[in-house]
Amino acid sequence: MNLEPGLYHLLFISAALLFIGVYGFFTRRNLITMLMSIELILNSVNLNFIAFNKYLWPHKMDGLFFTVFIIAIAAAEAAVAIAIIINLYRSHNSIDVENAEELKY
């Protein structure tokens, strides 16, 4: 029995991560949780890149580089998002998105 994971396994995990992330992003009201969901989505993309790189073009590095970039950008994004969340907390005393609805028509 071959226990080595194939491309499909990885894609399956990646898709699962994406949908978990999307689900979390739409259902959770806590901003921190939403941020975590976004990280899940990003990581599903990372996984996709790695998997395709390994199985389809094993002699190239493009996918790996993309992944490194995405991780760097995700770190920056997390820093910005957390800054926003802190500010929101200071002004609203909560990090629930439903309490921050002033910016509308």
Partner 1 sequence: MPNGTLIALIPLLPLAGFILLGLFGRKYLKNSSGIIGTVLLLASTILAIYTAYEYFFVYGKVAGVYEKKFPLNYTWLEFLPAGQAGSKGVSIDMGILLDPISVMMLVVVTFVSLMVHIYSLGYMKGEERFSTYYSFLSLFTFSMLGLVVSRNLFQIYIFWELVGVSSFLLIGYYYNKPSAVAACKKAFIVTRFADLGFLIGILILSFSSGTLDFNTLISTLTTPGSGQAKAVASTFLGASAITWGAALVFIGGAGKSAMFPLHIWLPDAMEGPTPVSALIHAATMVVAGVFLVARLFPVFSITTPGVLEIVGWVGAVSAIIAAIIACTQTDIKRVLAYSTISQIGFMMFALGVSGYGGEAGLGYTASMFHLFTHAMFKALLFLGAGAVIHYIHSNEMKDMGGLRKFMPITHITFLIACLAIAGVPPFAGFFSKEEILLSAYHNNTIIYYIALFTSGLTSFYMFRLYFSIFWNKPHEVERKKHGKGGFSMMMPLILLAIGSAAAGFIPFGKYVSSDGTFLESHFHLQFSILPVLLGLAGILIAWWLYHKQSDRADRLAASLQGFYRTAYNKFYIDEIYMFITKKVLFNLIGRPAAWFDKNIVDGMINLTGNTTAAISESIKKLQSGKVQQYAIYFLVSVIGLALLFIYVWK
Site of interaction with partner 1 (CB under 8 A): 22, 25-26, 97-98, 100-105
State the minimum distance, in angstroms, from the CB of residue 2 to partner 1: 33
Distance in angstroms (rounded) separating the CA atoms of residues 52 and 76: 25
In the complex, minimum distance from the CB of residue 80 to partner 1, in angstroms, rounded to a whole number: 15
Q: C-beta of 101: minimal distance to partner 1 in Å?
A: 4
Signed CA dihedral, 101, 19, 39, 57: sign only: negative
The residue among 4 and 101 lying less far from partner 1, judged by its C-beta, is 101
Tally the C-alpha atoms within 13 A of residue 74's C-alpha that lie toward its C-beta: 18
